[in-house]
A and B are shown apart, each in its own frame.
Chain A
Amino acid sequence: MEKTERLIVASSPQIHCGDTTARIMWTVSACLAPAGIWGIYVFGFRALLVILISLAAALAGEAAAGKMTGRSTLKDGSAFVTGLLVAYNMPPDVPLYIPVIASLFGILVVKWCFGGLGCNWMNPALAGRVFVFFSWTGGMTTWRFPGTMDMADTVSGASPLGFLKTSLANGVSGEGLWGSYPVSGMDGRVTGWLNETLGLSMRGGYADLFIGNIPGCIGEVSALLLIVGAVVLLIRKIITWEIPAAYLGSFIVLTWIFGGLPMGRGFFSGDVLFHLFSGGLMLGSLYMATDMVTSPLTRKGMLIFGFGCGFMTFLIRQFGSFPEGVSLAIIFMNILVPMINRFTGPSRFGVTTRKERQG
């Protein structure tokens, strides 16, 4: 009976829910996988190469930083997620040094200069992306039509959001704005079927946006698969509903009310579906704004953060000079997180007055 030499003596609680940081990070990576596989499927081998290069750079950066600080953090999976997200934010034909620099900037400068995992105040992958976007704008905005769009000969083209911005700048307005944008055969079939069975009169193009038959960054094009992964994360309680709901909700409402203005269509005429499924909104709102380290701690804080992201994304997309505003919006709100946390702490049990609450 005396097998007590190796008993663990530790402070209570003596049991644990069993979850670990590493499990959270690897689950996020797993839920991101389908969207990446789709990216490889439509953009080909080149997309896989970008993903592998980004991952390698991120892991190498993490290993180097770990070596310097004497901490072994590769297994916690956070650098893998960063590398993956950097790759997902790259166009498939990006020069290969760009994802390397983005990953290294994110890991070494944004994360480790502030103390490593948990101490960074900005999402490393997003910071890396924004850094290279402003440094090599040309390489970061060269797009390719996916292989599923029956446009094999047309190698390069504008992303839907970019097309819209350019058309607006050229003085095109009204309904014809993205009417001239190419549509795949798959979209025609899906839209036709939807219109027939549901009695709608939906125009072509939305199905392409939703499924991911559009030019764009490797991991952001398939809204459908990103949503599938996010549902798993919600069920596993790795992300909570507050940030995506506040982000997407505020963005939808603002786009619906004001989105028609730049096109000269007046209020309440914004093209909500187009904006919802184009660009990096799904990837950003479901996977990057919800990053635990760089988002607020409490429900109230998360809702404020989400609204802020939605508002900034809307502002940049509709009235800014860039076609896309998701990464800048999230980074801007990242900066405000400490302040949001300060004012949205939990309300204490048995403490009623404001004075008492502040000690």
Chain B
Amino acid sequence: MKDIMTFSKGGIHPADNKALAEQEAIRTLAIPPVCVVALGQHLGKPAECGLSPGDEVQRGSVIGTASGFISAPVHSPVSGTVKELTRIRLPNGQQTAAVIIETKDESPEVIQPSDEWRKLSEAQLLERIAAAGVVGLGGATFPVNVKYMVPKGSRVEYFVVNGVECEPYLTADYRLMLEKTENILTGIEIVRSILHPEHIIIGIENNKPEAIAVMQKAVSALSTPITVTPLKVKYPQGDEKQLLKAVTGREVPSGGLPIAIGAVVSNVGTLNAVYEAVACSRPLIERIVTVSGSGIVRPSNLRVRIGTPFRALIEECGGFIGEPVKIVAGGPMMGFAVCDLDTPVTKGTGGLLVLTEKEYKKRERTACIQCGRCIKACPMGLNPTRLFKWIDHLDYSAAEDEGLMDCKECGSCAYSCPAHIPLVQGMKLGKLMLRKKKAN
């Protein structure tokens, strides 16, 4: 099939293991007795909280306000009482302020979508998205209202909807496409009236034929032309740069944003959140999380309130089978290994994986044998082994000259490395050191 596209450079084909959870319809997880809501759960400045212990909060009320241009408000996912203001450690290792809320029984939520948003201006729509705290749910958690503020003079040729979900195991976006097709399409409509793109393309990898069929059927009934583009499976196609290369053939320049090639990309989960924010006036207080892996009794896709501890998700899915080797927040390629089951779900948590020895065996690191597999795997055309050596020798600026900042930590190199060199760890360190140097 010549028509089916993918990106050209690098990429890998890990086993997708989506069969574990893809048939599981989304279930709503019960509200936990205690919610831990992080104030810094998006890219940019953390939200500011003016509450103190003992304060009452309502479901959807603001508990943290956006504190800068790139920031997002945080809403209370439950009704209850503020028990404590504290600091917690998120799966990615960062510490952040958090509000601990003791929940009380809440009235059932009635969601009433309306069409009244069609009368709103672009600025008003953006304001609603911002007020609802919507961030990119694909994992980057970039505030969506900022993303949709197109710089003056730029034209949006392509609005690309990301239904790729290239991370193995994860099926949250897939279920959403099957179950909330109309919401996503309304979300696209809303974004269309903000960005006025010339083309709208929905990219879906062809290991999800049902999702492709459902979306194709849904868009064929619409008056506005939307293309559903099936893509050849290859990781990391869900990265916006690779997705844009696959569907438009254009390369986002190094260091640039998609708008540089006239494109904006949004994940299907984000569009569902945009729909809820704009059409239902509902802030982002829950998300879909895939709980999967060979170490979990019943792999599932759960609708979870933000702030729910991982423990509750695992209990809902029947607990562990055998002894877990790794527990991962997010996908297996870019997700973070956690050791504390009290870590809460944040806006960026797309998956919770319980991996056993079947899926991950710890191996010793050996010397680099110059096999070149990392170079072959890198979708950004970098030389990971060389970058790693520069970083190992503390020469961060030499690594920067060879493109370190282009690295998005997709993990293709380290996944392929027969010497088990922690390449991504090195890249993360190098990028952190460069950012620190620039900040000084």
Contacts and interface: CB of A to CB of B under 8 A. Distances in A.
Interface of A: 1-4, 6-24, 73, 76, 78, 116-119, 292-298, 345-352, 356, 359
Q: A-B pairs with the 4 shortest C-beta distances?
A: A13-B411, A11-B425, A359-B401, A118-B367
Contact of A12 (B361, B385, B424): B424
Interface of B: 9, 12, 14, 168, 241, 245, 251-256, 314-315, 319-320, 323-328, 332-339, 341, 353, 355, 359-363, 366-372, 375, 378-383, 385, 400-403, 406, 409, 411, 414-416, 418-420, 422, 424-425, 428
A73 B380 CA distance: 33
25 contacts: A1-B315, A3-B320, A7-B339, A12-B336, A14-B332, A15-B332, A16-B363, A17-B416, A21-B367, A21-B418, A21-B419, A22-B366, A23-B418, A117-B367, A117-B369, A118-B370, A346-B381, A347-B9, A348-B381, A349-B251, A349-B254, A349-B379, A349-B380, A350-B255, A359-B400
B415 A17 contact: yes
Contacts of B382: 346, 348
Contacts of A73: 366
Contact of B337 (A7, A297, A348): A7
| Chain A binding surface, main DSSP class | loop
Nearest to B17: A15
A280 B424 CA distance: 41
Given A20-B366, A21-B418, A346 B375 contact: yes
B326 A293 contact: no
| Chain B binding surface, main DSSP class | loop
B327 A12 contact: no
A282 B365 CA distance: 33
A292 B241 contact: no
A3 B334 CA distance: 24
A12 B338 contact: no
B420 A20 contact: yes
Contact of B422 (A10, A17, A21, A116): A10
Contact of A346 (B252, B325, B361, B378): B378
Given A13-B333, A14-B337, A297-B370, 17 more contacts: A1-B315, A3-B324, A8-B360, A10-B326, A14-B353, A15-B415, A17-B415, A20-B363, A24-B418, A116-B367, A117-B367, A293-B369, A297-B383, A346-B9, A346-B375, A348-B406, A350-B380
B355 A14 contact: yes
Contacts of B428: 11
A332 to B, nearest CB: 18
A117 B366 contact: yes
Given A15-B359, A298-B375, A7 B324 contact: yes
Given A16-B420, A350-B252, A119 B406 contact: no
A117 B372 CA distance: 15
Contact of B334 (A13, A293, A359): A13
Contacts of B424: 11-13
Contact of A11 (B327, B375, B418, B422): B422
Contacts of B315: 1
B320 A1 contact: yes
Contacts of B326: 7-10, 14
Contacts of A118: 367-370, 419
A23 B327 CA distance: 27
Nearest to B15: A15
B415 A13 contact: yes
